[in-house]
Structure 1
Amino acid sequence: MPTTTIRKSLIESFGDPSHVSIVTTEIGPPAANEVQLKVLYSGFGGSDIAMRLGSYPNQKSAPLTTGYSCIGLVTLNGSKSTKFPISSLVGCLSVYEGQSERVNLPEKYLIPIPEGVDLKQAVALILDWTTAYGMVYRTSKVTKGQRVFIHGLSGSVGFSLLTLCKLQGAEVYGTASEYNHAAVRAAGAHPFVYTNKDWMMAMNAIGGAHVVFDPLGFESYDESWDILARGGGMLVGYGGNYNVLNGGKTRSQWPQIAKLLSKNLNVFCPNSTAFFYVNRDQSTFEPELKALLEMLRKGEIRVPIRKLWTLEEVPEAHRMFNKGPGVGAVVIKVANNVNL
């Protein structure tokens, strides 16, 4: 069977950024139900860091190639794949292999990308913004006039939560590094520094938050619970790997998630909790991503790009993760041109 020579990122073994390299390898043709893409852009974020450290839930063993989301052009179809003509522009929640010049992916997970959208922005919708969309519109059902508190306002998911909650007419508060406060204020939020805990007193002084979005996990869940509105509020946890992403030791999330959800057992408490995650097999995933793509096409949302790295710079992206000012998504430009 013919193969194609490609470049890709590779986590050779778990550990610090020195374990990430860019290698030359071969890719074979797609299987019957697969499609081969020339990857144009891939997302980059906490999943990449956690996988490099070997701490992402249920992840593959090393060696592995990260890239949880990607956008690319169809170059080959497997014998049973007929949905997308050659050169079709598609996106995918790939989970792995997005940071490769070519990738074979199951046809059933590919979603058409509308003409005219900015592909750098579109690739960020596939994971980070669908996570935010599901939490805002489906889990917490944010409505006009509510007070919403978001931990990590300047991150890709945090900024998308900010944007979507403002579109719903909510008043947005949250935490962010002080050097990003001006940017999140400009987007309509009221930022606090996380470490001094002033945000807890401030939120309780105005009656608490109707919804809190917390990706930090562990002890932060208790603090977030304590700022919920007394008459009824919802704490939505997601991610939960903040400790490891910032140099801490790996801790199992499952006991803390169980503790978070157990708060719902008190039928006399007006507050509630949920833990949210995105899976490409969920029936809600494709329609929600398509809704976001349409919002992007119409100019109803804009995805700020914090940093654009090339494929060859992926090791540096690992080294510089979460360092310095900036808001929004980090994106990997995989291809140098859009020609097949």
Structure 2
Amino acid sequence: MATSTIRKALITGTGDLSNVQIVTATIAPPPPNHVQVKVLYSGFSGADINMRLGIYPNQKKAPLTPGYCFVGRVHVNGSDCKKFTPGDLVVCLSVYDAEAELANMPEKYLVPVPAGLDIQQAVALTLDWNTAYGMVYRTAKVTKGQRVFIHGLSGAVGYALMKLCQLEGAEVYGTASQSNHAALRNEGAIPFVYSNKDWIMAMNAIGGAHAAFDALGFESWDESFSILAPEGGHLVGFGGNLPMLTGGKHRSVIPAVTKLLARNMVPFCPNKTSFYYIGRDQSTFEPELKKLFEMSREGKIHVPIRKIWELEEVPEAHRTWNSAGGIGSVLVRVAEDDGKA
């Protein structure tokens, strides 16, 4: 099989927005145990921005094609691949290479999309909601009647955390841009503005949070720990996005994570801390994703899609990331689905 010509996003170097380009390139046939997939939609998230800035933990060096997850149709099987047939609809936690017309991925990381599931919903569930699911059900173990605080309620993962916690009967509070407060109140949450810190006094006044989810990291983890319920609460840190959002210089998240987890060593402290990350090699990844697929098909959950960019618009998506409004997940449409391989 010959190489194929494709269009793809490329981060040519780290830092400046000019390093994000849409290029014509070639892709080789899939190697053994890999499947070549025709990408339909890619997720677009803070991971893309951090990779462009060069601050995503352990990222590979530029040039690289971003795109942490995708939904697409199997195009060609590599040798020894028999799980899927051309045309099958699959999702993948790809980490890289999703913002491209074709992608070669290990067969073991492809998950079939059940019939009848909307493909935009499927790709958003793969990363955004699957991340939230693990934090709500396995890490914090949120239960009915608890008070939960979430930073970034209007974001992709933050919104998913909110809805999953509400499904369990929790009261949800959190931070979000002022422009999204009315919509979040309509969803049953109580939002605050992060920067004025009124949320710290307000949460302590009502007895604190039984669970707090914080993707900002650094000093924000200290603040979130301070609002935990005195009888015992659980702070779940994930990400480390504060420098990205504030325009600050790169700061390693490792010392902050170490400090976060060290709080568990304080004698007689009723509060717990965890740092959460999602990985495609985790034994929980595929079962929890399939559970989310089931919940979506049953109508228990629905992903709001904040924005869909075309592949050629990816540089603009990077430029406007911090100023974009709305609620929910962001996607990149790579190709229309014609139902063919």
Q: What RMSD in Å do the two structures reach over aligned CA positions? A: 0.9
Kindly state the Cα deviation for residue 86 of structure 1 after the two structures are TM-superposed: 1.1
Residue 162 of structure 2 aligns to a residue whose secondary structure is helix
- C-alpha distance in 2 between matches for 1:33 and 1:242: 39
- Measured after TM superposition, the shift of residue 186 of structure 1 is 1.2
Match of 2:16 in 1: 16
Alignment deviations for residues 24-68 of structure 1 (CA, whole Å, 9 cap, x no partner) = 111111011000000000000100000001110010100000000
Aligned counterparts of 1:98 and 1:326: Cα–Cα separation in 2? 23
C-alpha distance in structure 1 between counterparts of 2:218 and 2:59, whole Å: 21
1:117-167 Cα offsets, whole Å, 9 max, x none, are 121121111111111000000000000000000001000000000010000
Q: Mapping of 1:1-340 within 5 angstroms?
A: 1-338=1-338, 339-340=340-341
CA offset at residue 336 of structure 1? 2.8
Q: Does the 8 A contact of 1:46 with 1:245 survive in 2?
A: no
Output the TM-score relative to the length of structure 1: 0.98
Greater Cα offset, 47-56 or 240-249? 240-249
Deviation at 1:19, TM superposition (A): 0.9
Partner AA of 2:124 in structure 1: A
Alpha-carbon contact 2:70-2:94 (below 8 Å) kept: yes
Letter aligned with residue 180 of structure 2: N
Gaps of 5+ in 1: none
Displacement of 1:312 in angstroms is 0.7
Q: Is the 8 A contact 2:218 2:242 kept in 1?
A: no
- 2: distance between equivalents of 1:245 and 1:68? 19
Q: Which amino acid aligns with 1:94?
A: S
Paired residues of 1:30 and 1:78 also in contact (CA < 8 A): yes
Look up the SS of the partner of 2:321 in the other structure.
coil
CA distance in 1, matches of 2:171, 2:267: 28
The 3-state SS of whatever aligns with 1:322 is helix
CA distance in structure 2 between the aligned counterparts of 1:132 and 1:324, rounded to whole angstroms: 22
Q: Distance in 1 between matches of 2:32 and 2:185?
A: 50
Q: In the alignment, is the contact (CA less than 8 A) between 1:90 and 1:111 conserved in 2? A: yes
Letter of the structure 1 residue corresponding to residue 217 of structure 2: G
Q: CA deviation at 1:337?
A: 3.6
Partner Cα distance (2:112, 2:252) in 1: 37
Q: Cα distance, 1:298 vs. partner?
A: 1.4
- After TM superposition, the score normalised by the length of structure 2 is 0.98
* CA–CA distance in structure 2, aligned partners of residues 16 and 48 of structure 1: 13
Distance 2:265 2:49 in 1: 34
| Partner SS for 1:301 | coil
